[in-house]
Amino acid sequence: MHKIDRRGLVLGLAGLSTVLTGCSPLTTLNTLNTLTPGDGGTRRVAQGVPFGPDPRQRLDVYAPVRISGPAPVIVFYYGGGWDSGDRAGYAFVGHALAAQGFVVVIPDYRLVPGVVFPAFVQDSAAAVRWTIDHISEYGGDRGRLGLCGHSAGAYNAMMVALDPQWLREAVVDPGVVRAVACLAGPFDFLPFDVKASRRAFAGYPDPVATQPIHFARPGAPPAFLAYGTKDTTVMPKNSINLAAALRAKGDKVELKAYEGLDHIAILLTLSKPFRRKAPVLADMTRFLHAQLG
């Protein structure tokens, strides 16, 4: 749910020898990521593609430059408390995942206060609809689809994966989601006791139905749930509790705790400058390749 603010990113970059100024935090991170060696052979193959009529319903696609046969596909949803964020800021994620052999879709979605729950979940499902219809044009295999997200984006991913109504509403078979991988996600956060959750969910008539943990069910997609032990924004119990609920239903879950990482740092480890801090990218993509084939 947390926003990547300037103070948080500057603190995260303090150990680097090069600090760029005059840019937004995510612009700075993407620039540093570009200047850091590694992850060659990827490119953004589509930009600003509409998947709905609203200006916020746009997406970008990243892919390996060389694809041998249709590649597994990831739809990645970014965080921001459901009231901020844009896909361009997460280019470092698109390139990181594409370098691991995935075709990657990063959609925007409508934000609070312009909308409230469930609009951002509906947009997340609509992005899957577009992906099923069009990803083969970019070298992706629609039959090997995983969802990923960080923070509020992890919430969106898990709601789409666990509650079949959203994909059915988007005229998609819920079975298309073969795996879900989430970083620092809010999955079990009643009561609504912080500003972001109150603004996004407090008016909904059935609060329990806003909680991903409520939809733990037999036959759910295999899940990778990761959190940092120093996260005080989205408490680790969210991932721990959901993992227990899914396991109780007989579902496959990999739960990973990363010592010393906070809410922002677990995302930053996907970027090249921070990747040595923890093997989050390696662990997550190993899981996704195992599930998607």
Q: What are the tens digits of pLDDT across the range 141-178? A: 999 999 999 999 999 999 999 999 999 999 999 999 99
φ, ψ for residue 182, nearest 5 deg: -130, 140
Distance CA 180, CA 165 (A): 17
Taking residues 218-234, report their average pLDDT.
Answer: 98
Taking residues 94-103, report their average pLDDT.
Answer: 98
- Which pLDDT does position 19 carry in this prediction? 34
Between strands 71-77 and 42-50, the pairing is: unpaired
Say whether domain 6-292 belongs to CATH 3.40.50.1820: yes
Between strands 103-107 and 58-64, the pairing is: antiparallel
Domain residue spans of the chain = 6-292
- Residue scoring higher pLDDT (17 or 274): 274
Angle CA 61–62–65, to nearest 5: 135
- Which pLDDT does position 112 carry in this prediction? 98
Angle CA 24–29–35, to nearest 5: 125
Helices (H), the chain: 6-13, 25-35, 91-99, 119-134, 152-162, 165-169, 195-201, 237-248, 265-268, 280-292
Q: Record the tokens describing residue 71, joined without a space.
A: 């590649």
Q: Does 21 have pLDDT greater than 80?
A: no
At 1, the pLDDT band (50, 70, 90 cuts) reads low
Taking the whole predicted model, whether its pTM rises above 0.75 is answered as: yes
- Which pLDDT does position 23 carry in this prediction? 44
- Residue scoring higher pLDDT (26 or 13): 26
Distance CA 59, CA 135 (A): 12
